[in-house]
Amino acid sequence: MGYSDIEKQAAVSKEVNAGTSQSSSRSLDFSSSASDDRNSHWQRFIDSFKPIDLEEDGIDTTNLSPMEKSILASAKHPLARRLKSRHLQMIAIGGSIGTGLFVGSGYALANGGPGAVLIGYVIVGYALLTVVNALGELSVQFPVSGSFNAFFTRFVDPSWGFCLALMYYVSWAISYPSEIIAAAMTIQFWNTSISPAVWVAIIWVVISSINLFGVKGYGEVEFVLSIIKVLAVIGFLILGICITCGVGDQGYIGGKYWHNPGAFNHGFKGVCSVFISAAFSFGGIELVALAAAETENPRKALPKATKQVFWRVTIFYLLTSIVIGCLVPYTNTDLLDGEGIAASPFVIAINQGGIKVVPHIMNAVIIVAVISVGNSSVYGASRTMASLAAQGLIPEVFGYIDRQGRPLVAIGITTLIGLLGFLVVNENEGAVFTWFFSVCSLASFFIWGFINLTHLRWRWALYAQGRSKDEIIFRSPLGTFGSWTGMALLIFIIAVLIWVSIFPIGESGADVVTFWQNCLSLPLIVVIFVAHKTYHKTWNHLWVKLDQIDLDTGRREINIEVLKQEIADEKQDLSEAPIWYRVYRFFC
């Protein structure tokens, strides 16, 4: 080996050693950095289990009133903002399509006839359009934890906020085991040898697991299940029109069932009886607003999702009621006497058409729909309980949020209530759940009515404080007129439902048992409101004064003047767009 070769080797060795030294140095640095990162991650992991502390954010809450602390807490509640626009769109379109539409519509058809079902769905549908648009305006402006549950406290009165949110929680919590039972009984369409309690256990585990994945898991599951439900309803509408026009064993049907046995059963009382079934079918339509606090960009996603409700009401309820009325006479005995899936007008219509495979498909879709509503039950109940805790209306332990933004305590309590689904093996489970639901029977109508009232008080507060409507990010297309008319309709519906409950269809006189089964929530709401007012000694005021309503906390856009300019620019761009695009944006 020559000198030059030795020199070259030494040079290479020097470079290698230098590189190794640098690599070792980098490795030590990286190891040190990794150790620091691990410590930092571990510390963040530990800290994430601590409850929210407003003082840590530099906010002095010492001199704040309970109302101000409640508003601040609901605005800063650390729920994860992981829902995307597509999740919210599908939650709005098909989120709560379940047994109310697929099975409950049969009960409404039997009691009222096809004309009554259509009228009932139109009336309740319009009332809920006003509710969702009003709620959309408020939730885009204030995407806070609990949405309308927090708005009741903020814009009306804390006692009403506690009362109505508690009733809303109970509604969803009781709905959860009921939906599990419905799914288990629907599975028996295929298999009656296995105890329904086995299916209850499996479905309970599935739904509980979904909610433990957090809001992203809920959103993804609802996205898929909603697509299935929407496609199923659209498919049924197409098939139903084909059967009506002569495809199937019955030949041409047309509108003969609207003439014989007729469009109405039991007259005006039959129309009124449809309202409760319609409310059950539409139930959960407000979930899209409840999810606003966990949405990445509610300003963009929520208005679009809100507008989808119009199509949901029109296509999935009004058109469906017309098609079902053409295919199934209200005298069909299975509507009232059928067990589980056999009482579904969807399945009855397809069976009468002589189509063999589709009933199995519809049965599967109903199971999907029921699991979807059960999933929504846990979501709606847990977020409501967490919001109540954040507002200080119940002990703060119930508002415990983990590092993934999951209200674990609220989810845990709600899933435990789901174990009531094992009552499926009890021969009196129907009577038990009838009384469970009596606790919250009229609660939905009160909640929807108060949402309209909250919207009006928001607009009145803007005027009272000299603020301009130009700062409203998304204005309800129906405006205050919609809230006034929606509230009037809901008061009317409550009144006639009380009347029908006192003097039910088929009874010659008053029926005390039916009244309490349908209206037990009415005295309970009064008792809870009075108890809360008395306990907190707030009888000196019945509502929050308009000039004292907080119109800023909870906004994601802080600079009002910049916000106004952005809204004005968006309006200008829309006004210059083609007419077809403006019409599209109005409805979509």
Tokens in use for 501? 């409950």
Helix (H) or strand (E) holding 44, with range, is helix 3-47
| pLDDT (mean) for 532-543 | 87
pLDDT number for residue 20: 41
| pLDDT (mean) for 255-263 | 87
Long-range CB contacts (within 8 A, 24+) of 522-526: 522/442, 522/498, 524/167, 524/439, 525/163, 525/164, 525/167, 525/443, 525/446
Q: Tell me: domain 86-557, CATH 1.20.1740.10, correct?
A: yes
Highest mean pLDDT of the ranges 33-37, 122-126, 302-306, 398-402:
122-126
Closest CA to 160 of 550, 483, 414, 536: 536
| pLDDT (mean) for 522-539 | 90
- Eight-class DSSP state of 342: G
Per-residue confidence at 8, pLDDT binned at 50, 70, 90? very low
pLDDT at 396 over 50: yes
Could you report the per-residue pLDDT of 59-97, keeping only the tens digit for each?
555 566 666 666 666 556 555 566 676 767 677 666 667
- Residues with Cβ within 8 Å of 510's Cβ and at least 6 positions away in sequence, in order, are 502, 503
Per-residue confidence at 6, pLDDT binned at 50, 70, 90? very low
| pLDDT (mean) for 269-294 | 78
pLDDT number for residue 514: 84
pLDDT number for residue 527: 92
Which of helix, strand or coil describes residue 510? coil
Domain ranges of the chain: 86-557, 560-587
Residue pair 142/384 in contact by the 8 Å Cβ criterion: no
Query: 14 or 235, which is more confident?
Result: 235
Could you report the per-residue pLDDT of 109-136, keeping only the tens digit for each?
888 899 999 999 889 889 988 998 898 8
Rounded distance between C-alpha atoms, residue 291 and residue 218, angstroms: 11
pLDDT number for residue 528: 92
pLDDT at 457 over 90: yes
Could you report the per-residue pLDDT of 317-327, keeping only the tens digit for each?
888 888 888 88
Query: 288 or 458, which is more confident?
Result: 458
pLDDT number for residue 75: 59
Question: Residue 584 burial (CB < 10 Å; 0-12/13-18/19+)?
Answer: exposed
Residues facing 83 on adjacent strands: 295
Mean pLDDT of the chain: 78
pLDDT at 433 over 80: no
Query: 422 or 1, which is more confident?
Result: 422
Query: 310 or 29, which is more confident?
Result: 310
Residue pair 39/366 in contact by the 8 Å Cβ criterion: no
pLDDT number for residue 463: 92
pLDDT at 568 over 80: no
pTM beyond 0.75: the answer is: yes
